[in-house]
Structure 1
């Protein structure tokens, strides 16, 4: 090297000292050491990185593509989270090198695969309508994980998925109706202020509802289209009839709300909100519009059932409309002159009744149910200490009704997570009453943290361990917002109550969605990314 005059310049001369380079290297080393120290507390969440390619169980392309098609069928059939299905299939295609592309629509997956030796692409339509089956979904995820982690071949995985799809439900129709009876009975007392008598009636309604849904609706396609409206009419008719027995023995609001809680589209609205948050706009918008219209139909069916009984029983109709009129009125007859308003200065002749606003609300009302302290214990709302055993029992019944095997190790984990989520939800409701979105988000953060940490540290399935707790948040949030049914006095209020129910469900789903995404961000903020698709909410 030389200067413009040709004088050679040494690299160790004063113009180019080496000391700054040494300081720069030392600063880089100290910075890397500092980052390593900061990452040390979170190293417990990290696992050794596994190979993302298949080495031991190499098989032909056709077998790998058939496994992906069976996997798509199983995920749709057993109620996998729809906003995760496409990412799971894409991860399987990349690791298995199956050269497939996917388009996920509601209840259908379009798969495009490249043929052998550069032939034209083949398009497959995988369609299935299913309900949540937690045990089968757990087995599907285990097969999926074994194949992608090179512990099982694609042909063996296809055979295992085919066997899972052929397996009938693990519980009979009678057991599933019994689980629905217990779930509705407990949720009537926990969330809707029902008494012991109300719990029995709401459980019986839910049992009949479950039987019609699993038996009659599956056998007749014509009845399946009107199943939800028909059962809501029946439940509202029975609840209105029992509530008109003299003495206020039964509560209409608690019986009707808990009786139809089994068919509330809370899970559908939650999945649609998760899809919208995941930028899956088409599926999310379709599902949320369907859920809103479905909720309006459900509210309209409850209104029809209640009004149908009032039409048949004239005395009950008179008592019902009389209850909406204030009792203690001060009547004045004569001419009245308005000082302001639209009729200012216009004289009006007639009879005026004056009462305090809200004077027609009965005393000793708890969650839209009359509970006189002088009544016996079996007509009162459940005391607070019953939560300690009713919440675990409800969590067990909810898990079993979603086809979770009763002898599995996953069941106590589901129950524990659900109890923690309900405790957080209850505590947040005491601090912030009336804020169903924030209250639901608090419970969702807790169960999301537990489920994702359980998946990372122990290797369990986050989705199946979180389903029971997440589904528990929906009726709890709706009950805090006023319940499913409300009193109305005109046709306009009938439809407004239906819209308010849909709005409450969307509010709860939005809070749960935000809480789940926050918990996922906190857990997966540190550590390596997952090789396979993330199987959680």
Structure 2
């Protein structure tokens, strides 16, 4: 462990290197084992499914070797199932496939990379961004392989690969279950997704922070949604304004109520990151790949760039909110936006 002791009076620092020999301490090991995860593995699977079902209107990586291809295989399986369901022309391929992979998008990785680069941590930030670019391509490749397997095995074309509005599977004259949901459903789906996403990441039921997580996430989504209507196809602007709203409320809570701003803002930030799926996104890659287009990987890189532009907007919005709430230099502000 490296520890740096800074002297503000002289502007110098003294670095100490502390080395601890490895040893077995059963008492400390037992104490550490006494802090289990908040939710069990089956509960996490249920919460992941509820997140996907909410955002439509995970499986934990246990094996280290399988973890290297986890995203590709899961995306392949889910894309194959979504294509089979879409062939009935009663299920929307894009809606089912996008909601099924929403929790494994690399948005948080891209956000961390943007924050690190903005704080001059160039190496760490660049590594994260490069990893996110390749991760997006892996994810799109998995979705494309699933669609191609469906076409090859059943000899049927992919239905609704570019049907982002689900017009092929919805019937405006049919029953309520066949019609495109109105925006009034957002009053149910947005809080539900915020709740289950918070629980998925370990929020504890009954604590004040859980209510704040849901409320601030809803504030961020509403801001992002209406700014997105005003500035269509500009995810960086809508993300910046949405992140500003989330950061402003969270930092005000942290400053005046002695709470932790990071804890109550994280769901609101993660809610805005899947915009790389919007306006085609990954599914442009899927359609180009299944049709044999030579520009398929260009679509994949465009999706990754959408995630990066969104995260840049989030970084700017969070930074501005932090400056407004903490205009005077302080230790809390100097610690950074995502400091625990």
Q: 2:306 aligns with which of 485, 504, 519?
A: 504
- In the alignment, does 2:187 pair up with 1:187? no
**Offset from partner CA, 1:107-139 (integer Å, 9 cap, x none):** xxxxx963xxxxxx44579xxxxxxxxxxxxxx
8 Å contact kept, 1:395–1:418: yes
CA gap of 1:165–1:470, structure 2 versus 1, over 3 A, is farther
Within 1, Cα distance between the matches of 2:176 and 2:213?
32
Unpaired segments ≥5 residues, structure 2 = 8-12, 22-26
Corresponding residue number in structure 2 for 1:463: 262
**Correspondence for 2:245 among 446, 449, 473:** 446
Task: Tell me, yes or no, if the aligned pair for 1:462 and 1:535 is still in contact at 8 Å.
Answer: no
Which of 255, 272, 275 is the equivalent residue of 1:473? 272
| 1:237 aligned partner | 80
Mind listing any 5+ residue stretches in structure 1 that lack a counterpart? 1-68, 73-88, 96-100, 102-111, 115-120, 126-158, 190-209, 325-360
* Partners of 2:99 and 2:68 in 1: CA distance: 22
**For residue 521 of structure 1, what is the aligned residue in structure 2?**
323
- 1:79-94 equivalences under 5 Å are none
2:173 matches 1:374: yes
CA 1:172 to 1:492, structure 2 compared with 1: closer, same or farther past 3 Å?
A: same
d(CA) in 1 for partners of 2:119, 2:183: 39
Counterpart for residue 530 of structure 1: 331
Q: In the TM superposition, what whole-angstrom CA distance separates every residue of 1:1-45 from its partner, at most 9, and x where no partner exists?
A: xxxxxxxxxxxxxxxxxxxxxxxxxxxxxxxxxxxxxxxxxxxxx
1:388 partnered with 2:187: yes
Distance 1:308 1:521 in 2: 51
Q: Distance in 2 between matches of 1:454 and 1:240?
A: 45
1:523–1:229 CA distance, 2 compared to 1 (3 A) = same
Q: Which of 137, 140, 144 is the equivalent residue of 1:303?
A: 144
Q: Is 1:482 matched up with 2:283? A: no
Partner of 2:115: 274
Q: Residues 367 and 482 of structure 1 are in contact (CA less than 8 Å); yes or no, is this contact kept in structure 2?
A: no
> Residue 374 of structure 1: CA displacement?
2.0
Query: How far apart, in 2, do the equivalents of 1:427 and 1:124 lie?
Result: 54
For the aligned residue pairs, the C-alpha RMSD in angstroms reads: 2.9
Shift of 1:522: 1.5
Query: Following the alignment from structure 2 to structure 1, what is the Cα–Cα distance between the partners of residues 184 and 166?
Result: 21
Displacement of 1:469 in angstroms is 0.2
TM-score relative to the length of structure 2: 0.86
In the TM superposition, what whole-angstrom CA distance separates every residue of 1:215-241 from its partner, at most 9, and x where no partner exists?
A: xx31x2221111111101101111111
Does the Cα contact within 8 Å between 2:173 and 2:179 map onto a contact in 1?
Answer: no
Question: How many Å separate the matches in 2 of 1:532 and 1:386?
Answer: 38
Q: Residue 203 of structure 2 contacts residue 210 of structure 2 at CA under 8 Å; is this kept in 1?
A: yes
Quote how far apart the aligned CAs of 1:496 are: 2.4
How far apart, in 1, do the equivalents of 2:333 and 2:315 lie? 22
Q: Is the 1:418–1:469 contact (alpha carbons within 8 Å) kept by the matching residues of 2?
A: yes
Equivalent position to 2:227, from 428, 432, 442? 428
TM-score (norm 1): 0.56
Q: How far does residue 251 in structure 1 lie from its aligned partner after superposition?
A: 1.3
Q: Aligned to 2:294, what secondary structure does the other structure show? A: helix
Please tell me whether Structure 1 or Structure 2 has the larger radius of gyration of its CA atoms: 1
The residue correspondences of 1:112-511 to structure 2 (distance < 5 A) are 114=16, 121-122=17-18, 167-189=35-57, 210-211=58-59, 214=60, 217-218=61-62, 220-245=63-88, 248-314=89-155, 316-317=156-157, 367=165, 369-370=167-168, 371-475=170-274, 477-486=275-284, 487-488=287-288, 489-511=291-313
Find the residue that maps to 2:193 and give its secondary structure.
helix
Instruction: Deviation per CA, 1:242-265: give whole Å up to 9, x if none.
Output: 1112xx111111111111111111
* Deviation of the 1:525 alpha carbon: 1.2
- Judge conservation of contact 2:245–2:321 (CA < 8 Å) in 1: yes
SS in structure 1 at match of 2:99: helix
Shift, 1:178, TM fit: 1.0
